[in-house]
A and B are shown apart, each in its own frame.
Chain A
C-alpha cells in the first residue's frame, strides 16, 4: 500500500477581489486617443444619447496589475483541478496535451474572426474537415457538426434535428415522444423536453438495463426518437442495443447514441453499424481537450445521410482544392449556437487523434477497461464498499458504480463525507451519480488510460484509509475536509431567497 502524502491545500485567506485595492488604482491603461482624432469627434461622452448615458461608474474594484495577477494566482493555487489524482467517472477525464494549448494561443487561431472570408481560414477549415473525416471513421456516420458547445448541447441538437426531420415529413404533430432510460445522462430527457417532446423513461431491470420488451411496449407511431447511452455509467453494456434500434426504426422513430462513455468502446464498435442514425462525442474529455471546469467544450454531433439535410450550418466541404463553408438547408436546424463551434477544442481533438492513431485509440479503450477491472478487484476488498448489481458476473467496461451503503449503515459516514475527506489527501472530489440515485451512497471512479498504476494505487489507498477512519473515528471523516482551503460548506441558506447571494452587491444588501 502506498504511503499517503502529507498534503495540504494552499491557504491564502484570499479576500474577494471587490474587497481589494483602493480608489485611484488601475490595472490597465487604454491607448489614449490621438489629439487630432479627439479634436475631430469632440467630447466622447456627448456621442451617447443623454437619456442612456451612464451616470455613476460601476462599483468595480480598483487594483494595480500585479495585484490582480497575484489575486487570481492565489485563487488558482486554491484550486485542485487535476493537480492531484482525479479519477472522475461518467466523463472520462484524461490528459490535456499542453502542446495544443500552445498552438491555439498563436495568432493564426486566437486572432481569427469567424466571419473572415473562407479563403483566409483555409487552415482552420482543413483541420475541421480532417477531424470530421476521423470521427466519421470512428462512428460510421456520414457527417459531423461541431456547433454544440458541449455534450448536452449536442443532445439538444439531436432533439432539434428530430423535430426538423419529422416536420419535413409532416409527422411532427404525431411524433410527440422521446424515449430514454433512467440511466441516460439527464441532458437527454432535459433537452428532449426543452425541444418540445414528452419524455418516456424506461427503468432498469434485472440485467442492469431496461428490457427490450419494455421498450417495445412504449414505442409507437408517436415515437420521435430514442436517446440512449451504452455502456451506461455503471459500466454495463446493453447487448440488445441493435434490436432496440430495430424496434424504434420499425415504428418510424430515430435513434441517437449518446457516446459520453465512448472510452470503453472506442475502436470496438461503430454507432452506425449498430443501426444508429446519430451520435455524439465529447471532444473535451474523450478526445483530450480540457474540461476547464465546465467548458468551452464541444459536443460533436454526427449523423447518417438521412439526417444530414437537417444539420445546422455552417458545414465544411472540400472540393479537392479549397475548403468551403456552406449554409445548412432551409429545412434544417438553423443554428443551436452562433458560428462554427469552439475552434480551439476542435484543433485539440484533431491533434489528440493524430497523436494516438487508430491503434492508440483502440489501446486507450483497452487500457481504461483494464484499469477499471483492476480497480474493481482492489476496491471491493475494502470494508464498506459494494457495487451496483453485484449479482452480475460480467466484467464492467471503463467504470463501475460502487456503493458506500454498507459503510454508511455501519458508521453513519456518507459518500459525500468520504468525498470530502479524500480531498484532504489531494484527491479530486469523486463523482457520485447523476440523479436519481438508483444505488445508495454511490461513487463512480473512472481511471481512464492517463493515470499510472501508482496514481491509481494511491487513489485506492486513500479510499481504503478513509474507510478505515470511518470505522475508527467517524467524526473525523464527517468533519472533513481538514487540509483544504476552507472547511466543509454549510448548505444552509443556499436555497433561501433571503440569504442566497450570487453577487457581492446582493450579499452586502442582505447583510445590511
Chain B
C-alpha cells in the first residue's frame, strides 16, 4: 500500500487544483513554492515518514463500485425479516422524508443565520412545535445526539434545579442507555457528580415497583427517571403515581418516551412529567446501523427549566419589518458557545438534519396517522406475542401492557442458538437479554411494528416452532 504519485493535476473535489490556477495563486500570494507557506511549522514537527494510505480511487464510478462491493457483505433488515428494536427501531420511512433531507439546501448548511438559512430555521421550529404537541409541552430544544444523551442532560438539569446529587433509574433499563447516563453522571471522585441508584421492577408486571421507589426516594433525590414504554416494552400504567411520588419528595420527574407511541399513549406533559426526553429516530429516520439515533428534551415553558437547557433552540421572532416573522436562537448565552465552561454542559453538532426528517414525518402523519400507527403497532405486537406464547417451551414474560416490544423467554433453548437458527432462515430474532438481564433467564426482546404483516408474524411463529422443537 504505497502512495501513488499522481500528476498533481485537477481533482474533482478541489476547485483550485488545476496547475495553472495554483501558479496564479502563488504569484498573487507572493510566494515561490507552496512549501514556503508552512514556515510556521518547525522542521522537527514534520512527518517522520511519508503518509502511506491505499492508492486513491479518483473515478466516482470505481469508488462507488468499491464501496458497494464491501457494503454488499452486509445482510439488511430489508432482505431479512427483522425483530430487533432495543433502542433503534424499524419503522417505515415515507419517501417524502428522504426526498426532503436529501435536498442539497438541507444537506449543506453550516451554521447559518436567519438571513442565510431562514427555511432551515423554520423547519427546526416546526420540528419543536410538532414534537411539543405529541408530548403536550410548550418548550422544546433542538435535538441532542441520542435518547441516552438526552436523559443524561435532563438528569443533570434536574440535579442543578434541585441542588441534589442522586437520581433514581429503573432497573431493567437499556444497558447502553444506562452506560451513557452513568457517563453523564460522572465518577464520585469529581465535583458535581451524581449518584445513580436503581429502582426494582415488579417481576409480575414489568412496571416500576412503587414500594421500592417509595423506599429509595429521599431528600437526596434530584430526579426519578421513568420510561414508558420501558426498554422491556412495558407501558407504565402507574406513571401518574410515580410523578406524584417524585413531586412529593421534591424531585423532578424525568420521563423517557418513544414519541411514535403518543397517538395512543397519554402525553407525559399531561400526567405530571417535568422533563421529557426520548428518541427521534422512529419519526422518519432510517436505522442506518445506529446512525439514525437522535434525542430530544422538552419541558413546560417555565423559566427555571428554560435556563437549564444545554441545547440551542429557536423561537419565533419578528424582523425589522413590522408584521414579518422570523426565527432566532434563544438563550445562546447559557450554552457553551456563549459561556465556555460556565455554560450548561455543552452543545455542538447534533442531529439537526434528522430534525427536518422528524418535522416532515409528523406533518405527514398528523393526528390520525399517529393514532393509526399506534393502534397498528399495538395490534400486531399483541398478535405476535399471543401466538408465540402458545408455542411449547416458549413463554412471553408479560402478555399484556406493552406497546411494540415484549420479552420472549426460551425455557429449553439458548437465545444464541435460536437466533442462529432463525438467521439461517432469513429472520433476525430479538435482542438477546441473557447477559444484560440475567434475572430473565434465556430471554429476548422482540420488536413488532407497522412494517410487519400478519404473514410476516405467522412466518416468525412457524419458524420459532420449527427451531425450538425437540
Contact = CB atoms under 8 A, between A and B. Distances in A.
A358 B118 contact: no
A59 B133 contact: yes
A82 interface: yes
A424 B129 CA distance: 29
Given A167-B187, A356-B11, A356-B13, A340 B290 contact: yes
Contact of A487 (B321, B328, B419): B321
Interface stretch (B164-172, B216-224, B366-374): B366-374
B350 A149 contact: yes
Interface string B142-183: 100111110000001000000000000000001011011011
A71 B362 CA distance: 13
A435 B340 contact: yes
Given A123-B72, A153-B348, A78 B122 contact: yes
B336 A105 contact: no
Contacts of B26: 370
A331 to B, nearest CB: 11
A292 interface: yes
* Most A C-beta atoms less than 10 A away, residue of B288, B319, B367: B288
Interface string B38-52: 111110111110111
A502 B87 CA distance: 27
A326 interface: no
A199 B8 CA distance: 45
A112 B76 contact: yes
Interface majority SS (helix, strand, loop, mixed), chain B:
mixed
20 contacts: A62-B368, A77-B119, A88-B110, A106-B68, A112-B74, A127-B71, A163-B186, A196-B191, A335-B183, A354-B66, A360-B11, A377-B28, A395-B39, A428-B110, A487-B319, A487-B324, A489-B317, A503-B138, A503-B301, A509-B138
B377 to A, nearest CB: 9
Interface string B285-315: 0111111011000000111001000000111
Given A48-B378, A502-B140, A26 B289 contact: no
A373 interface: yes
Contacts of A394: 39-40
A44 B320 CA distance: 51
B47 A291 contact: no
B46 A269 contact: yes
Contacts of B191: 176, 196, 198
Interface string B250-272: 00000000000011111100010
Contacts of B98: 105
Contact of B119 (A78, A82, A173, A374): A78
A451 interface: yes
A115 B88 contact: yes
Given A45-B264, A506-B139, 16 more contacts: A16-B122, A27-B369, A51-B237, A51-B238, A75-B122, A80-B112, A81-B107, A82-B109, A111-B77, A134-B53, A292-B106, A357-B4, A363-B14, A486-B325, A503-B128, A503-B140
A376 B25 CA distance: 11
B106 A293 contact: yes
A69 B99 contact: yes
Given A38-B379, A45-B375, A176-B190, A354 B111 contact: no
Nearest to A112: B289
B202 to A, nearest CB: 14
A25 B453 CA distance: 25
Contacts of A451: 15-16
B109 A186 contact: no
Contacts of B56: 354-360
Interface residues of B, number: 224
B316 A367 contact: no
A376 to B, nearest CB: 8
B109 A73 contact: no
B82 interface: yes
> For this complex, into which size category does the number of interface residues on chain A fall?
35 or more
Interface in B421-467: 423, 428, 431, 450, 453-454, 457
Interface string B80-102: 10101011101000101011101
Interface in A269-292: 269-270, 273-274, 284, 288, 290-292
Nearest to A197: B190
Contacts of A71: 363
A63 B363 contact: yes
B225 to A, nearest CB: 16
Contacts of A334: 179-180, 182-183
B187 A172 contact: yes
Interface in B181-225: 182-184, 186-187, 189-193
Nearest to B327: A489
B110 A291 contact: yes
A81 B180 contact: no
Contacts of A420: 113, 115
Given A73-B103, A358-B53, A292 B108 contact: yes
Contacts of B39: 394-395
Contacts of B115: 419-420, 423, 429, 480-481, 484, 488-489
Contact of A97 (B13, B30, B100): B13
A390 interface: no
A334 B365 CA distance: 37
Given A293-B109, A347-B67, A373 B100 contact: no
B175 to A, nearest CB: 9
A192 B337 CA distance: 14
A138 to B, nearest CB: 7
B108 A196 contact: no
Nearest to B375: A44
